[in-house]
Amino acid sequence: MLRPRKKYTVRDLQLLKGKRCLTHIHVKSPEEAAAAEAAGVDLMSCSFDSPEAQARLPLLVAAAPNSFLSCATPHGLASPEEAIRVAFRALEIGASSVYCSASPFIIEAMARERIPVVGHLGMVPRHVTWTNYRAIGKTEAEAVQLFRDMKTLESAGAYAAELECVPHNLARFLSEQTKMLLMSLGSGPGCDTQFLFSDDILGDYDERLPRHAKAYRNFLEEHRRLQRERIAAFGEYIADVKAGRFPAATHLVEMDDAVLHKAIAAIGKTSG
């Protein structure tokens, strides 16, 4: 099993830029975090955008103590002050950095406080009303704007940016033009990390697999199989109880008859 000699820092990641492509998985449970660390993944990310996700973070940190873990902040941060508070709370729990899809104005405030922050470029699901779900950067105008947005994010102080659904040859060029780490989600092999969600890798949802993703297992069918097995097992238990097959003698604790009779007699005297 290959693991880094120590838990990565942002500085370690920056020194690796251009040297090799890092693996990156978004996890949603302690079991997935532990599995990703055991498999030797370089980076992990997780959600920190709901009370449930925030309560889960300490469990993820404990499950993968040697892994770099970045947390996605809530959408709609109302002010730089709120963003800073949320980010520091995640870092205090054990996150290594935070992801934020807000404007460079928000990200700059976080970076001024030395918070390691990841921005988002390309197709941003939280802002998809402005673009629709599609690749970004296929035209000259969009490619130029994407470059400008990247430089603005870099100037704001982000150390990395998720680059989602950008043409791979443009993504490679952009990665060469910035000191930020570009994290490819559907943007090809020329970036600094390859990023997939655990749901994609495990085949663990009902929707059609995205074009940029690859499923290595079929957990959805496994969950369905397990549910069928649950129903069958519960049904067999109910049938056994109704038919008098459960509990059987092997499930019972036996009391000596003589002792039982004495106990009953004693109880009778006490209750009388």
Task: Kindly report, residue by residue over 28-71, the tens digit of the pLDDT.
Answer: 999 999 999 999 999 999 999 999 999 999 999 999 999 999 99
Q: Counting beta carbons within 10 angstroms of the beta carbon of residue 151, is it exposed (0 to 12), middle (13 to 18) or buried (19 or more)?
A: middle
Six-digit token string for 168: 């791979």
Both 265 and 137 in one domain: the answer is no
Both 17 and 33 in one domain: the answer is yes
Whose tokens are 């150390």? That residue is 159
In the chain, how many domains are there?
2
Bond into 247 cis (ω within 30): yes
Whose tokens are 């994010």? That residue is 153
Res. 4: pLDDT tops 50? no
Rounded Cα distance between 187 and 140, Å, is 17
CATH of the domain at 106: 3.20.20.60
Three-state DSSP state, 267: helix
* 72 domain-assigned: yes
Give bridge partners of residue 118 from the DSSP assignment. Answer: 99, 160
Backbone phi, psi, residue 72, to 5°: -85, 120
Both 170 and 95 in one domain: the answer is yes
| Domain end residue (candidates: 177, 195, 217) | 217
For residue 94, what is the DSSP state? Answer: T
* 17 domain-assigned: yes
Both 33 and 126 in one domain: the answer is yes
Report the C-alpha dihedral over residues 186, 123, 16, 100, rounded to 10 degrees: -130
> pLDDT digit string (tens) for 183-223?
999 999 999 999 999 999 999 988 788 888 999 999 999 99
Both 121 and 43 in one domain: the answer is yes
* 81 domain-assigned: yes
* 3 domain-assigned: no
Both 154 and 259 in one domain: the answer is no
Six-digit token string for 6: 């120590």
Identify residue 21 by its one-letter amino acid code: C
Both 127 and 249 in one domain: the answer is no
Both 148 and 67 in one domain: the answer is yes
% residues pLDDT > 70 (the chain): 97
* 16 domain-assigned: yes
| Domain end residue (candidates: 198, 217, 236) | 217
The CA distances from residue 164 to 56, 152, 155, 168, 259, in Å, are 26, 17, 20, 10, 75
Backbone phi, psi, residue 192, to 5°: -90, -25
Q: Which of 46, 37, 45, 40 is nearest to 64 (CA)?
A: 37
Both 95 and 135 in one domain: the answer is yes
Both 39 and 170 in one domain: the answer is yes
Cβ atoms of 84 and 110 within 8 Å: the answer is: yes
Q: Which of 180, 142, 179, 176 is nearest to 162 (CA)?
A: 180
Both 174 and 260 in one domain: the answer is no
* 1 domain-assigned: no
User: Which pLDDT band, with edges at 50, 70 and 90, does 1 fall under?
Assistant: very low
The separation between CA 249 and the C-alpha centre of its own chain, rounded to angstroms, equals 48
Res. 227: pLDDT tops 80? yes
* 5 domain-assigned: no
* 2 domain-assigned: no
Both 77 and 178 in one domain: the answer is yes
Residues serving a catalytic function are 164
Rounded average pLDDT over 120-143? 94
| Domain end residue (candidates: 202, 217, 232) | 217
pLDDT for 272 = 61
Angle, alpha carbons 238-244-245 (nearest 5°): 80
| Domain range enclosing 250 | 223-271
